[in-house]
Structure 1
Amino acid sequence: MSETWLENWPEGLAGLSFEQQGLRLSWAEVHALGRLNGIHGHCFQRSSPEALEGLTARLDDALQRFPQGAFVRLGSRSPKDTLASMLMRNRAFNGAQAVHLLTNGSERIAFELRRCLRAAYTPWIFLRRWCDIPPESEFRCFIREGQRVGVSQYHHDSHFEGLDAKETLECLRERILTFFPLLTARSHVTTAVFDLVIPRGGDGPVTLLELNPYGAPTDPCLFSWSAQDMDDTLRVRTATGEIARIRLSH
C-alpha cells in the first residue's frame, strides 16, 4: 500500500515524529471494525464478539505506554469525520474508547478498510502520544523529486494573529530551512506532502506530523496543484483574507 502510511515509515523518519505504537489488525478484526462502523457494513463479514474483545485488550495493553492518552488512527488516516472524533479529539485512554473512535460511522475509516480488503492487505492501528497542537503551528510542506517547492499554513481558511508578521515569517523560514535537510535525509520518499508542527516563537522542536501523497486529492492549502504555482514560498493567510508569502530560498 502507500509509502506514506505510518507503518511504512523508516525508523529514522519516525524519529522526527511523535512517539507511537502500531498494532497490525487480523482479518477478523478488520471485518469486526468495518461491520460495527456501519458505513458500507454489508462489505464486511459478521465476526464473533471475541474479535473486538481481543482487539480492545490489545489496545488496553498498548495504551499503558501513553498515560496522557493517545491519538488514534489507522496507518493511512484518522477518523476525523465523526461527532465522536470532534468531541474526543481522537484521544483515547483505553481500548474501548479507541474502538469507539474507529467504529462511529466514519466514512474515512470505511473507505480505508474497504480499500485494504480489495488489496488483501491487513491495515494497522496507530496510537500516537497525545500532544495539544495549536492550529497556527501546523504547516504543509510540498516536496517534489527531493526538492522543496512550497510550504503553506495548514488551516488555510483562518487568519491567526501575528502569523503574517514579517519577523514571524522570517523565523518560520529559518526553522523550515534548518529542518528540511534532516527531513529529506531520513525520508524514504522523494515526492510527498509532509505536515509539520512548528511551534510559535521558536519554542520546541519542529515535528513531523504525517505524510500524504503529492497531488489530488491531497489539499494543496494556499497553493494549487499547478506546477507553476509551486514556487518555493511560505504562504499564510492575512487578516484581510489575502495571502502573505515569503521566498524560502535565500
Structure 2
Amino acid sequence: MSVLRDLPGDHLARFATSRWLGPLERVCLPHHAIDLSPSDLALICAHAAGERPSGRFSGTLRDDLAAALAELPQGAHLRLEGCSLRARGQVPRLLTPEDALAALSQPNGRVAACQRLLAPCLSDQSLHLFAWADIPPWSEFRVLVAGGQLLGITQYHPDRGWPEVAAAATRIEAALMRAAEVLIKQVPESDFAADLFLDTSFVPRLIEINPLGPNTGLGLFVARDFDGGFRYVTPSVNSTWHDENDCWRCEALLAGQDLSGNCHKVLPLSAKISL
C-alpha cells in the first residue's frame, strides 16, 4: 500500500472506514459493521504480517459474520478500518463465514502496513462487510479533492476508452458532478480521493475514500493540469511505437470536448505523479 509510506498513522486514522461511512452510508452499497475484539484484531494483524499465530478467531466473530452474510445473499467484500483485503489486484467475494475467516487468515502486505500505522491511533476497530457488486471497469471513476475544492473527476482505468462512457458522457458527467458536491460537503476531510462506480441506473455508488497523498493515482490528471472537469479517454494504439510498458496514445476529453491540444499524451499504465 504505497500511499502509506508518506502518511503518519494519525492522518490515516482520519480516513478510517467508520469515520467516512457514517455521513455517506446512503450512497454506499448495503453494509454491516462488526466490532472486533482485541484478540480477533491481533490475529488479523498477525496473519496479515505472515506470522503463524496459534490462536483461533472467536466464536462471536464467526456468529457475527454469519448474521451479516445472511442479509447479503449476493456475497460481500470486507474492509478493515484502513483498507480492503485486496491482494494481487483481487478482492475476494465472500459467501460464508468460513470464506471470511479464511480471507482474514491470509498474509496481506497492505493490511499489515496499514495496521502497523493505525494500531497506535485506533485501538477500537470494526470489520465492514459491503454487499458484493460486479463492477465493470468502464463504470469506475475517481474524484480528486484538495482544500475542499474539486480538482477533477477522472476515469479510474486510463488505459483504454469505453463505449459505454462515450455513449452516455453527458449523463455520467452530471451524475458524478452531483456526487462530488455531496462528497465535498460530507467527507470530514478537505483533501481526499474518492473512488466510485456507476450502477446499472447510472447512480454513483461510493467504493472508498483515501487520503490524497504523493502516490495517489491521478488518472487523466497525471500532468496535474487540474481544472475541476470530468475526463474520460478514447484510445488508439500507436502502431509505430511498441515497448514493454504497453502504452496507449490517449485523448483526454473534458465533458465531451476534445482536449488533444493540451492533454493528448502517451500515458503508461497506472501512471502516477508526485503532488
TM-score computed with the length of structure 2 as normaliser: 0.75
Q: Which runs of 5+ in 1 are unaligned?
A: none
SS of residue paired to 1:210 = strand
After TM superposition, which residue ranges in structure 1, 4 or more long, deviate above 4 angstroms?
none
SS of residue paired to 2:168 = helix
What letter corresponds to residue 70 of structure 2 in structure 1?
Q
Residue 171 of structure 2: aligned partner: 171
Residue 148 of structure 2: aligned partner: 146
CA distance in 2, matches of 1:190, 1:95: 37
Residue 55 of structure 2: aligned partner: 48
Distance 1:145 1:37, change over 3 A: closer
Query: Contact 2:142–2:195 (CA<8 Å) still a contact in 1?
Result: yes
Query: Contact 2:145–2:191 (CA<8 Å) still a contact in 1?
Result: yes
Q: Deviations over 1:102-139 (max 9, x none)?
A: 22221111112222334362332110011211111010
SS of residue paired to 1:242 = strand
Give the counterpart of 2:254 among 232, 246, 249: 246
Q: How does 1:78-157 map to 2 (within 5 A)?
A: 78-82=84-88, 86=90, 89-119=91-121, 121-157=123-159
SS of residue paired to 1:194 = strand
Distance 1:221 1:103, change over 3 A: farther
Residue 273 of structure 2: aligned partner: none
What letter corresponds to residue 214 of structure 2 in structure 1?
A
Q: Deviations over 1:188-229 (max 9, x none)?
A: 2222111121247xx242222211111222222222374xx2
Residue 196 of structure 1: aligned partner: 196
CA distance in 2, matches of 1:32, 1:66: 25
CA distance in 2, matches of 1:118, 1:178: 37
Distance 1:69 1:199, change over 3 A: closer
Residue 60 of structure 1: aligned partner: 66
CA distance in 2, matches of 1:138, 1:15: 18
Give the counterpart of 2:78 among 59, 72, 92: 72
CA distance in 1, matches of 2:118, 2:145: 27
Query: Contact 1:149–1:233 (CA<8 Å) still a contact in 2?
Result: yes
What letter corresponds to residue 34 of structure 1 in structure 2?
C
Distance 1:54 1:138, change over 3 A: same
Residue 222 of structure 1: aligned partner: 220
What letter corresponds to residue 20 of structure 2 in structure 1?
W
**Relative to structure 2, which stretch is displaced further, 177-186 or 207-216?**
177-186
CA distance in 1, matches of 2:129, 2:176: 27
Query: Contact 2:142–2:154 (CA<8 Å) still a contact in 1?
Result: yes
Query: Contact 2:230–2:254 (CA<8 Å) still a contact in 1?
Result: yes
The Cα of 1:159 is off from its aligned counterpart by 3.0
User: How large is the RMSD of aligned CA atoms in angstroms?
Assistant: 2.5
Q: Which runs of 5+ in 2 are unaligned?
A: 1-9, 237-248, 257-275
CA distance in 2, matches of 1:10, 1:199: 19
Q: Kindly indicate whether residue 28 of structure 2 is the aligned counterpart of residue 22 of structure 1.
A: no
The Cα of 1:97 is off from its aligned counterpart by 0.6
Residue 203 of structure 2: aligned partner: 205
CA distance in 2, matches of 1:33, 1:11: 24
SS of residue paired to 1:238 = strand
SS of residue paired to 2:68 = helix
